Amino acid sequence: MSIFGRRHSGLTGNDVGSVVWKEVADSAARLALALVSRDDGRIVKQTDNGSHWVLDDYAVPTWRELTSVGVAAVTTVFTRDGDVTATAGDYTASEVTNVPAGDIVATTVQAAL
């Protein structure tokens, strides 16, 4: 497995387990890890905030936080900006899905009406 272009030495092609190498309590514990060259590319989970870090360079301990890639926040919905919640008129009954239950077999609210 390759992470940031580096081969992850702790995994094999048959590995189906966690890619986390170690769990540490906080950033102080992560920064205090004794590291060797084979640790480059290893992933550590920091339990105080649930963050994941990859070791970029063991020689001068450089950690990079793993974050969502390619996901951007929505800045506007229905021409409204900021924290947007659905309001009357945003959707029609045919756009709202329904899980059929009981005597209702329709899959949209419009069809259930």
Task: Tell me whether residue 93 is in a domain.
Answer: no
What is the chain's mean pLDDT, rounded?
77
Q: Does residue 33 sit within a domain?
A: yes
> What's 92's DSSP letter?
-
In a domain, 109, yes or no: no
Q: Write out the residue range of the structural domain in which residue 7 sits.
A: 2-66
Cβ partners under 8 Å of residue 54, min gap 6: 3, 4, 41, 42, 43, 44, 63, 64, 66
The confidence score (pLDDT) of residue 11 equals: 43
Is the residue at 16 inside a domain? yes
Q: 3-state SS string over 29-72?
A: HHHCCCCCHHHCCCEEEECCCCEEEEEEECCCCEEEEECCCCCC
What total of structural domains would you count in the chain?
1
Which range among 22-26, 34-38, 74-78 shows the weakest confidence by mean pLDDT? Answer: 74-78
User: Is 91 within a domain?
Assistant: no
| Residue 42 within any structural domain of the chain | yes
- Residue range 34-70, pLDDT digits in tens: 999 888 888 899 999 988 889 998 899 899 988 755 5
Residue 106 lies in a domain: no
HSE, CB side, 13 Å, CA atoms: give it for residue 5. 2
Q: Indicate the SS3 state at residue 86.
A: coil
**Token digits for 24?**
């540490």
Higher local confidence (pLDDT), 56 or 15: 56
CA-based R_g, the chain, Å:
23
| Helical (H) or strand (E) element with 97 | none
- pTM strictly above 0.75: no
